[in-house]
Structure 1
């Protein structure tokens, strides 16, 4: 049975209309209330840190994840096993635990290793001794999120690369293209259409998981809310505003990514 004309039409996003109306009403309420306006102004100071942590960690995780994915698809069994070991071990550790480990075990270990390797240069006066406190908690948090998400992102890249038809790769080999040229000209442009949706989901998830950096005292949205609530005892107002800001960020990003996906799909169909 052929689908009816009404079922083939794009369904009106009533959920989005309701969400937008609620967001607008909340914004007007915040602007009209001195208390909520003060809470919003305080919590919003952490938006810059949240965005910085998310963007930097995601960019680094994507680079590392792509490298791990290429190792997993390598002809070398050793590289494949190393990649699989990395992915399975990192994915098995909760992000919060990884955050604590990197901050309080990994960073001191890195400092000790750095000082041991650069001891001759330090003795000659070319370098000073690196101290644990020199490695900021912000960058410890970024590295923990980078390592944690790189394992998930590597699987996204691996699945996208493997989705490209092998016949096209064989044809590119027959034309004499090198491995790098095949990846740059044939594989990646086609794989990105498969990679983009789950990669966008990981980016949105990272925005939310960036709130975990507050356990280290990093002044993101959540930490600013915790400090204000602890001092004012306005827990309902503070965490309502915190949730509102995160919703604006995540829903806005999700809509932008969906629009980009539709645009890429139309370009592919044309």
Structure 2
């Protein structure tokens, strides 16, 4: 920390002072123009609140949404990584049909607005799957069972489990297209001589990919994959449009019921920033090790 301050010159301090002045000016202008009454003292109760009747603390709207966002992003990232690796390998397959199918999926998802993709996946895939598996009745039965606590630890309120599944499927399949392109670039970055060497010693295509290509390619794609995971967290706000009760959805509920417009959205922005910036620092440290 001390070494960081030593590297800061007078020009850096001047720029920081100008930025601080600009922020203060904008804040004062907004204060006078909007005639808005700030009520920051109410926000902590909507993050975590103490219940007098039960004598315990419980997560309120914003913290519930943050926890739901973390759950959805973890499961969606696993799905996106799994499906994306398959797509990336398929993009480099020797079979023309497999390559075309994978490329079609990737190009369609990369060239259509995310909001449109979200609704298409929700109505034509996610909702159909939930109805076919009768997931609503199954989740309600678990919620009434004795082992509901274990399920709720991993998936939250089981009465909203179909909503969680919708969010994970939609977000995971959407992000898989971008992961697939990252994996494809990693595979194609491997020198052709290694492919030829693998075939020269009699390896099959599967063995070549498993033992030679993929171990090297996956090491190369770790940094862009980490960035894509951070992007997934930010993109998770889109699934609030299909009523998945993550952080953005809960913030809309809070604003509608309390009119804490600026306080709620600024708090939500801070949650997203802390989550994404914290992961960015973590991934940066892992890359150096």
For the criterion TM > 0.5, the same-fold answer is yes
> Paired residue for 1:51, among 70, 87, 106?
70
Alpha-carbon distance in structure 1 between the residues aligned to 2:178 and 2:80: 9
Q: Distance in 1 between matches of 2:100 and 2:47?
A: 49
CA contact (8 A) 1:86 1:151 kept: yes
Residue 165 of structure 2 corresponds to 139
Contact 1:40–1:241 (Cα < 8 Å) also in 2? no
Structure 1 residues 111 and 53 mapped into 2: Cα distance closer, same or farther (>3 Å)? closer
Alignment of 1:60-209 (within 5 A): 60-107=79-126, 109-110=128-129, 114=132, 130=134, 136-209=162-235
TM-superposed deviation, 1:110: 4.6
Structure 2 unaligned residues grouped into runs of 5+? 1-6, 17-39, 49-59, 139-160
Distance 1:137 1:111, change over 3 A: closer
1:179–1:131 Cα change, 3 Å? closer
State the match for 1:227 in structure 2: 253
Unpaired segments of 5 or more residues in structure 1? 1-10, 19-32, 115-128, 264-270
Counterpart Cα distance in 1 of 2:174 and 2:80? 8
**Considering only aligned residues, what root-mean-square deviation do their CA atoms show, in Å?**
2.7
TM-superposed CA distance for 1:77, in Å, is 0.9
- Counterpart of 1:24 in structure 2 is none
In 2, Cα distance between equivalents of 1:102 and 1:185: 35
Q: Is the 8 A contact 2:91 2:184 kept in 1?
A: yes
Moved more, 137-146 or 252-261: 137-146
- Report deviation, 1:131: 7.9
**Is 1:39 the equivalent of 2:65?**
no
Question: Between Structure 1 and Structure 2, how many residues are aligned?
Answer: 222
> TM-score of the superposition, structure 1-length normalised?
0.73
Could you give the per-residue CA deviations for residues 181-202 of structure 1, whole angstroms, max 9, x where no partner exists?
3223221222123211111111
Residues in 2 aligned to 1:143 and 1:79: alpha-carbon distance in whole angstroms = 23
Runs of 4+ in 1 over 6 A off after TM superposition: 131-135
Instruction: Normalising by structure 2, report the TM-score.
Output: 0.69
